[in-house]
A and B are shown apart, each in its own frame.
Chain A
Amino acid sequence: MEEKEIGCARPTGALVGEPEPALEEKAEPVKKEVPGMTIMVGRKAPDFEAPVYHKGKFGSVKLSDSLGKWVVLCFYPGDFTFV
């Protein structure tokens, strides 16, 4: 994992494994609907880059860095929740 400055999570605006939009477009938060950016089984996952805490370090991960491996992505409501 790459160690990085504190940042915020942002979608890259592309599907996993697909080319990303040009930098100037990325500067704006991704608002416009990207064609094919629908969450559906059997379709590509939206790519993103996000800040992480991992084994004592702050860093950053990108979903497409896991291409070639299986991924489990688990959203949950919040730290210190009970379930």
Chain B
Amino acid sequence: MSAVADKYPVFQELGVDVYSVSVDSQFVHKVWNDNELSKMVEGGVPFPMISDAGGNLGKIYGVYDDQAGVDVRGRFIIDPDGVIQGMEVLTPPVGRNVEETIRQIKAFQLVRATKGKEVTPSGWQPGKTTLKPGPDLVANVWKFWKPRDNK
């Protein structure tokens, strides 16, 4: 969670509200933040840490492991209309790549800003080529974009 906290200024610039969720109580969140995370990230965790005792939220989001009794690593990107645009679920031993989350948000924001007139090819980064879907693009993607263009 410290990795997300560390990138919080970037999320703020992008106009993103961040929430972390685990089954731990608010008290445990406080102790973890005050005694460990605040030593890893200056000022501690800047976003609300949700307590999901019993996994009620994890269950409705499909990320509660009832055998382990915990919420697994599920990450959801939700747009300003409340629509889920992206989700990624990992088992506990492997951490997320926050940079990838930020890349996806930038891509979704571009698509939204262009009302879908521009879409982002695989591995797109800001400033790189986007594609404009339409009859003329059919069988012609190769003229505009190749996988190596991202390199």
A-to-B contact residues, CB < 8 Å: 1, 6, 8-11, 15-17, 29-30, 37, 39-48, 50-56, 58-59, 61, 63-64, 66-81, 83
Contacts and interface: CB of A to CB of B under 8 A. Distances in A.
Contacts of A55: 44, 46
A25 to B, nearest CB: 16
11 contacts: A10-B56, A16-B81, A16-B82, A45-B76, A45-B82, A50-B50, A59-B48, A72-B16, A74-B20, A78-B70, A79-B31
Interface string B1-42: 100100000010011111111111011111111001000000
B113 interface: no
Nearest to B1: A76
Main secondary structure of the interface of B (DSSP, over half): mixed
A82 to B, nearest CB: 9
Given A41-B86, A44-B83, A55-B46, A75 B75 contact: yes
Interface of B: 1, 4, 11, 14-24, 26-33, 36, 44, 46-54, 56-58, 60-63, 68, 70-87, 92-96, 101, 105, 108-109
Contact of A77 (B71, B81, B85): B71
A36 B121 CA distance: 30
A9 B84 contact: no
Contacts of B63: 75
A75 B21 contact: yes
Contacts of B96: 74
A73 B80 contact: no
Nearest to B29: A53
Contacts of B57: 9, 11, 48, 50, 75
Contact of B76 (A56, A68, A73, A83): A73
